[in-house]
Chain A
Amino acid sequence: MDKERSVVWLLLKRNIGFWICLGIVLFVVLLAIVGPLFAKYGPQETVTIVRIVNASDANRVAEELRERYGLAPADISISMYSIIKQLSNTTNTTELNTLAEECKSQGMQVKIYTQPIPRIECYDPSKMMVVAYIRSKPPSLDFPFGVDKQGYDVFSSTVYGLRVSLSVGVIAAIVATIVGTVLGLLAGYMGGWVDALIDAITNLLIAIPTVFLMLMIGLFYVVGGSAVGREVQNMVFLGLTVGLLSWQWVSRAVRAQVSALKASDFVSVSMLSGNSTIKIIFKDILPNIASYIFLVFVIQLANALGTVVTLEFLGIKAAEWSLFARINQYLMLGEHWSGNWWTLFIPGAIVVAMIASLYLMVLSLEEVFNPRLRKA
């Protein structure tokens, strides 16, 4: 047993592909976890650069920004610098007065309006505001993943979106693995009508395209409530939905393993020596299929990620900033072909790299564990 383990380890150590894949997976997960710390913009914040400068410098600064970011003249606006404050409380004007004093002390011109709502506007004639709207920029040092057509920083939206999509995928995979394992154990160990019932449900889920069910559930419970602040709730719900509709493979695989084990000698011995069912399942069966369940989980994760991003593309999204929600918007507007490649393919490449690495890791592990697949 120990010898076999060392052989497995030796083989794995030599399998360069496995380590590359593991590296990619860890990198993508890390990107989703710590990426937002490095993101300069929020998930729904467009890239705009605001400079408040002396009036005489305004044109020069605008020109500098234009050159620095290669902007079209229409993407830059120069306007008067002003502070505008509006009161909701119509009766108390003392606050306005304090602000007015403050502005005046800084040498600003102040206008106070009382109608229709009291508000104050402070102008500084010596200062100008230069605003640069950055849109459709290819990857550069400033924006590692570029900026999309609407002015979103692709790096920021990717890392935030990845967080959402990965979370949903992980929840779905965990749910599917647990449900599938429990049902597979029950079906394989109990047999009889329990087995028949579980088998029937499994076959049903295999025979029908479950994506439609996911769509409809998502439509009613997720999109309907995708108001701000419900993202976490949506993520959990969507994860549960996908997970509860994709455990069929796990259950089938676990069932096969368990019934094989049940027929094996050592489980028979355990049964004959009077061990309880629960003890047999936890002591004799689960430890033997643990590594197998782990492989199944990795596959489920890869599958769930694929399903989740497809749902996002179709418009079922946990958050407005889900990874591919914006592509869905482009499609709705018929603008997906005029998009920029970095908007379309950088997030896509990350997801594909993640999914493919998960599959290839399972392939390597299977090759290592299963001597028949080992190619000398």
Chain B
Amino acid sequence: MYLAVFVVAVTLVWLLIRLAPGDPALLAISRAVMTPGTPLSPEQVKQLIDTYRHKLGLDRPWLEQYAMFWYNLFRGYFGVSTMVQEDILGTIAVRLRNDLILLVPAIIVSWFLGNWIGAMAARYKNVDRVLIPIIYILTSTPYFLMGLLLGYALGVVYHVFTPTMTSTDIDAFLASPNWSTFTRFINTYTLPFLSMVLVSMGGWASGMRTLMIYELESNYARYMESLGFSNRRVAGYAFRYAINPQITGLGIQLGTVIVGGIVVSSIFNYPGVGILLIYAINYRDVFLIQAIAIVYTAMVIVANFVVDLIYSLLDPRIRLGVVGV
């Protein structure tokens, strides 16, 4: 199932590039052509394009191109990038690692925090009145805006954290984890982390709130109350029920959350794929974008798989193979 999704998604990406108006080769070299100071004659341009076409195999039939595309994918060859001189995969791999360092803790923290806040809102009416607007404003804020806001407030106006990160901040910490590298890392890591957590927390909280209200009105909750269970216990059971759809939701929302994380990290120059992607878009670096799209799609699909696995372990109804009720 997951493999099929991946194949279709990658094929879509490939098709998009192939069907694009204009020659991908031309797009790929357009920057070199446009660079001032190196005037090229039309013949030279033509020659350059032909070299690229041949190098990329664009002069061969479609089916062969498609087969080659997959072959290259397995080799880890993603074509030629004008921005990244070394191999694309290596660059993305490092940035993927950095992104995971940001995404995994942020997703976990926001999910737990959001669910807790949502449950609070559902349980206490007074808290709810205050929390509803806050929750919904948080979840309505595009990730990059939250990043800008936090960065501006806590990085520029009040110098609590540093709003600009360099790859050495992470590398130094990973190479020799000690107090000084750690504080340096946290100093730059906090802002992207916080921005991401705040926005996605709003989403989880709003979902949890609705689910909990439903659960607290349901029959088992009423039954438990009429047996004299404590409110805390009833809420605990309701929470346990409501968490299942939230796990499914985690799988469903992963794509959005991950893209949001990538986007927000770019603002802080976080050495993930975000800032690379923005440059790639502005410089029309087609093959780099393609590589990022494929690698991160794969990442999202794998993450989905993991979430599904966790879910099936947690829900007795699935574990026991019982349908209904």
A residues lining the B interface (CB < 8 Å): 17, 203-204, 206-213, 215-217, 219-221, 223-224, 302, 306, 309-310, 313-316, 324, 327-328, 331-332, 334, 336-338, 341, 344-345, 348, 351-352, 355-356, 359-360, 363, 372-373, 375
Q: Which of A302, A309, A355 has the most CB of B within 10 A?
A: A355
| Least CB distance, A134 to chain B, in whole angstroms | 22
Q: Find out whether the CB atom of B13 lies under 8 angstroms from the CB atom of A213.
A: yes
**Bound complex: CA A205 to CA B137 (Å):** 26
Q: Which size bracket describes the interface of B in this complex?
A: 35 or more
> Is the CB of B246 closer than 8 A to any CB of chain A?
no
> Is the CB of B79 closer than 8 A to any CB of chain A?
no
Please list 21 pairs of residues, one from A and one from B, whose beta carbons are closer than 8 Å in the complex, sorted by A's number.
A207-B9, A207-B255, A208-B297, A209-B255, A212-B293, A213-B12, A216-B289, A220-B21, A221-B20, A224-B22, A310-B143, A310-B259, A327-B144, A332-B278, A336-B148, A336-B267, A345-B145, A345-B149, A356-B133, A360-B132, A363-B136
Contact partners of A204 in chain B: CB under 8 A: 5, 8-9
Known: A208-B297, A209-B258. A348 touches B145 (CB 8 A): yes
Known: A209-B255, A212-B292. A375 touches B125 (CB 8 A): yes
Q: Which of A309, A332, A337, A344 has the most CB of B within 10 A?
A: A337
**Bound complex: CA A223 to CA B27 (Å):** 12
| Least CB distance, A340 to chain B, in whole angstroms | 10
Which of these, A17, A206, A215, A306, contacts B293 with CB under 8 Å?
A215
Contact partners of B284 in chain A: CB under 8 A: 219, 223-224
Q: Find out whether the CB atom of B152 lies under 8 angstroms from the CB atom of A341.
A: yes
Known: A208-B9, A212-B296, A216-B17. A363 touches B151 (CB 8 A): no
Q: Find out whether the CB atom of A216 lies under 8 angstroms from the CB atom of B290.
A: yes
Known: A220-B20, A223-B284, A315-B278. A211 touches B255 (CB 8 A): yes
Contact partners of B279 in chain A: CB under 8 A: 332
Q: Which residue of chain A has its CB nearest to the CB of B19? A: A220
Q: Find out whether the CB atom of B263 lies under 8 angstroms from the CB atom of A212.
A: no
Q: Find out whether the CB atom of A372 lies under 8 angstroms from the CB atom of B145.
A: no
| Least CB distance, B26 to chain A, in whole angstroms | 11
| Least CB distance, A374 to chain B, in whole angstroms | 10
Which of these, B12, B142, B217, contacts A310 with CB under 8 Å?
B142
**Bound complex: CA A302 to CA B137 (Å):** 12
Within 8 A of A (CB), among B258-283: 258-260, 263, 266-267, 269, 277-279, 281-282
Contact partners of A219 in chain B: CB under 8 A: 281, 284, 286, 289
Q: Find out whether the CB atom of A331 lies under 8 angstroms from the CB atom of B137.
A: no
User: Is chain B's binding surface mostly helix, strand, loop or mixed?
Assistant: helix
Contact partners of A332 in chain B: CB under 8 A: 278-279, 282
Contact partners of A324 in chain B: CB under 8 A: 144
**Bound complex: CA A332 to CA B276 (Å):** 11
Known: A220-B20, A363-B132. A313 touches B263 (CB 8 A): yes
The 7 A-B residue pairs with the shortest CB-CB distance in the complex, in nearest-first order? A209-B255, A356-B140, A355-B140, A212-B293, A220-B20, A315-B281, A208-B9
Q: Find out whether the CB atom of B149 lies under 8 angstroms from the CB atom of A348.
A: yes
Contact partners of B144 in chain A: CB under 8 A: 310, 313, 324, 327
Q: Which residue of chain B has its CB nearest to the CB of A310? A: B142
Contact partners of B293 in chain A: CB under 8 A: 212-213, 215-216
| Least CB distance, A8 to chain B, in whole angstroms | 19
Q: Find out whether the CB atom of B21 lies under 8 angstroms from the CB atom of A221.
A: yes
Q: Find out whether the CB atom of A348 lies under 8 angstroms from the CB atom of B148.
A: yes
| Least CB distance, A23 to chain B, in whole angstroms | 15
Q: Find out whether the CB atom of A206 lies under 8 angstroms from the CB atom of B132.
A: no
Q: Which residue of chain A has its CB nearest to the CB of B263? A: A310
Q: Find out whether the CB atom of A327 lies under 8 angstroms from the CB atom of B255.
A: no
Q: Find out whether the CB atom of B255 lies under 8 angstroms from the CB atom of A215.
A: no
Q: Find out whether the CB atom of A356 lies under 8 angstroms from the CB atom of B9.
A: no
Q: Which residue of chain A has its CB nearest to the CB of B134? A: A356
Which of these, A220, A223, A302, A328, contacts B278 with CB under 8 Å?
A328
> Is the CB of B156 closer than 8 A to any CB of chain A?
yes
